[in-house]
Structure 1
Amino acid sequence: MSIKLRLTVMSFFQFFVWGAWLITFANYWFGTKHWDGTQFGAIFATMGIASLFMPTIVGIVADRWVNAEKLYSILHFLYAATLCYLPQVNDPHVFFYIMLLAMCFYMPTLALSNSISYTALTSGEYDLVKAFPPIRVWGTIGFIAAMWLVNLTGNKATGNQFYIAGAAAFGLSIFALTLPKCPPKNINRENQSLIQIFGLEAFKLFANYKMALFFIFSMFLGGALQLTNAYGDVFLDEFKFYPQYVDSFVVKYSTIIMSISQISETLFILAIPFFLKRFGIKKVMLISMFAWVLRFGLFAYGDPTTGLWMIIFSCVVYGMAFDFFNISGSLFVETSTNSHIRSSAQGLFMMMTNGFGAVLGSLISGWVIDHYFTLNFSNIQDLASYLKTDSTNLTLLSFIKAQGQTVLENGSLSAGIFLKDWHNIWLTFAGYTLVIAILFAVLFKHKHQNNEM
């Protein structure tokens, strides 16, 4: 098997083992376990917490002591074992710590997979600019394939999604041992300070007004990404509670609808060079921010019938919102920093988005939704009115029964039934990103030069 083919397989399964549960996890949390939103936000924050320190630690180990491909194999084996344990956990607090452990194993493999690819392609004397993107795009395809598999097999609200991801991760851990050797670099660090050893020099960039603003806004926008990953699929799935939508395509195949976002992502990657050359980083970042506003706004007014076009268009817009921010931002860091701190600066960019941004976005959104946008219905008349149906509707009664509730003689429910006010949730998220976009337009000063990218 050629080097490029082996790296392509690695890229495919690197994201397959994440996509098998990331988008559908909310259905398991709310629909199967019936746990609350604040705790859910904490679970999604585990990715950010792990991203704050694990990539740095694993990078040092790979640089000094262990071959990158072997370390990659070990981490995926541990990730697989942890995922397979998750369905056995029935306490949300314990679930948090097990998921945090899983993310500590998985998140550093994102950087390791890139490192392995770069090393192998360089050793094979390939042109990185031409060779790597076609390999990396298979990661997105793997993510999409996992989403489709979980949805079409009826596992999007079950613990089986973790078994599917775990089995694939275990296979990847074995396959990783066939990858090209990536031995430690054995860099001489005798005269380096602790700050240099741990790659912390990039924090000096905060002394630069423009770079400091860029990283701060990256953190705020990184929170927006967690909102759509955490709540997008469960938002579509909860249309099943409305009798008029229960048999719609969107409800049955919500994860497939969401996968349009990833398909769009692969297409907008190709448009980035044109937009950067034509408009510059500030305008491209603003386009991304306003795309997030549109993403959330379309979700707020979309539905599975007359508003289906809004949901689909929102998923198409996601490609622009995500890629124009993440990839363009990475290119801005690459061209705005000195060569000796470039890798550290990229790490700082990822820390601000996938680390601090992810943690804040997950925790704060979970708390806000739980306290301000979760509706409690104590009688069937109010519930039927909200869902725009009759209180004798069989679909509604089946929904109540599925929640483990019964309707008493006076029309009250044996316990409260909770539904999320998705319309106002998405409008709030849209307002959040609109404020970020306006502040960025006013505060971030950058004059575009035609040769800067």
Structure 2
Amino acid sequence: MTLTNRIKLSVMMFLEFFIWGAWFVTLGTFLGKNLAASGTQIGLAYLSQSIGAIIAPFIIGLIADRFFSAQKILGVLHLAGALLLWLASTAVNFNVFFSAILVYMILFMPTLALINSISFKQMKDPGKEFPSIRVLGTIGWILAGLTIGWLNWEQNSLLVFTFKTAAGASALLGIFSFTLPATPPMRKAEKTSISDVLGLDALRLLKNRSYLLFFISSVAICIPLAFYYNFTNLFLNETGMKSAAGIQSLGQVSETLFMLLIPIFFIRLGVKKMLAIGMLAWALRYLFFAYGNADANYWMLITGIVLHGICYDFFFVTGQIYTDNLAGEKSKSAAQGLITLATYGVGMLIGSLVSGPIVDAFKMADGHNWQIIWIIPAAISGVIFVLFVLLFRDKHIEKVSSELTIETSGH
């Protein structure tokens, strides 16, 4: 890869996740303070991500992969997204806001696949080259959170500027996308069926009883995950934490660290134990939130945030590797698409529908009874963890762990 292309792809990754992190983390707080939204309405707003994730394969499979160059459609989607984000910032009620953000997320979620396609097209060895470029995305997300905290937008009720900032960055990326390396349609001459787009051939993996249990666990664990994404920032602000969005970026720092350490943990623990530890970390995180506060137990809040690296990497990244190893050569992409659709699509959708009414049920005059609210997802995560440990058995795990050990040792 040329230095010019490396720089362009790094800028693309940085802006992509800066845009998302600039408004997504503080969305619940913005809706609660600026539009007097209920917990149910906040859950619906975050549900837009799930709808976008469900529709994304159609946009990529039926449009982007067949008719247009990836960098051009990326540019168009981000330019349209800039207008929608600006419109969301001017909304005077929840209905107007939800309409704008729903359409925006339907356009944004496909860009996550597009930036990967553009990157991989330029790489001879993605395993070695991609991480150093992808990490710029995490840095972009972190910088967005630090900026919000540094400017005190949460404390000063100025979160409307998060959408305006994201809109400006989206417009910039939209224009910049047309300068990215050419990435022509991958399947221009091929006929693509709905089955191909949705990756339905990967459903054969569910015939494996152990993988079916993992698949169900993946959907289920995304229900408590929605509590974290949807309401953590609102919780931290009500608790009295200063610069909450900036401090939340510690979760992404932790994610980056554990991502680098995953090969070592594979050797030491193996796949099953890593999946189990990831689930257990979710339960522990919510217990820390339940009993933490901005005074003597402030460390609990910080620990709960930092656990994000284990929560995400040990379960989701490990699960993606497990899926990749179990899938046949022809259905690797389809299998990854299926697990993404199940988690960020179905699982997060259910979680958003469940978490909102629960938060509303424990609303008080001066905020919410967060202790009870967080105990609920802690209990859900705990049950999933116990069932997984007791029921999950897969001889293929040994092969996967062995291959990963050999591969890691080879580096």
TM category (shorter chain) comes to over 0.9
Matched, 1:28 2:30: yes
Matched, 1:56 2:58: yes
Q: Which amino acid aligns with 2:285?
A: R
Distance in 1, Cα, partners of 2:115 & 2:265: 28
Matched, 1:328 2:318: yes
Alignment RMSD, CA only? 1.6
Tell me the CA shift for residue 193 of structure 1: 5.5
Structure 2 residue corresponding to 1:317, chosen from 298, 303, 307: 307
- SS of corresponding position for 2:402: coil
5 Å matches for 1:3-402?
Answer: 3-121=5-123, 125=124, 127-156=125-154, 157=157, 158-186=159-187, 188-189=189-190, 194-196=194-196, 198-240=198-240, 250=241, 252-371=242-361, 373-375=362-364
Unmatched segments (≥5 aa) in structure 2: 405-411
Who is 2:408 aligned against? none
Who is 2:402 aligned against? 451
- SS of corresponding position for 2:24: coil
- SS of corresponding position for 1:64: coil
Is 2:226–2:355's contact at 8 Å kept on the other side of the alignment? Answer: no
- SS of corresponding position for 2:92: coil
- SS of corresponding position for 1:21: helix
Q: Give a deviation string over 1:275-330, Cα, whole Å, max 9, x none.
A: 22322221101100111111111111111121111111112211111111121111
Distance in 2, Cα, partners of 1:117 & 1:185: 14
Report the TM-score, using the length of structure 1 for normalisation. Answer: 0.84
Q: Which amino acid aligns with 2:132?
A: P
Unmatched segments (≥5 aa) in structure 1: 241-249, 376-416
Matched, 1:442 2:393: no
Give the structure with the larger helix fraction.
2
Q: Give a deviation string over 1:3-26, Cα, whole Å, max 9, x none.
A: 111111111111000000111111
Distance in 2, Cα, partners of 1:301 & 1:224: 17
Is 1:36–1:370's contact at 8 Å kept on the other side of the alignment? Answer: yes
Choose 76-85 or 269-278, whichever is displaced more.
Answer: 269-278
Q: Which structure would you say has the larger Rg? A: 1
Tell me the CA shift for residue 446 of structure 1: 2.1
Tell me the CA shift for residue 340 of structure 1: 0.8
Distance in 2, Cα, partners of 1:187 & 1:67: 10
Q: 1:292 to 1:189 in 2, by over 3 A?
A: same
Report the TM-score, using the length of structure 2 for normalisation. Answer: 0.92
Is 1:7–1:179's contact at 8 Å kept on the other side of the alignment? Answer: yes
Is 2:198–2:338's contact at 8 Å kept on the other side of the alignment? Answer: no
Q: Which amino acid aligns with 1:280?
A: G
- SS of corresponding position for 1:271: helix
- SS of corresponding position for 2:367: strand
Is 1:12–1:141's contact at 8 Å kept on the other side of the alignment? Answer: yes
Distance in 1, Cα, partners of 2:347 & 2:101: 18
Q: 1:93 to 1:52 in 2, by over 3 A?
A: same
- SS of corresponding position for 1:20: helix
Q: 1:277 to 1:356 in 2, by over 3 A?
A: same
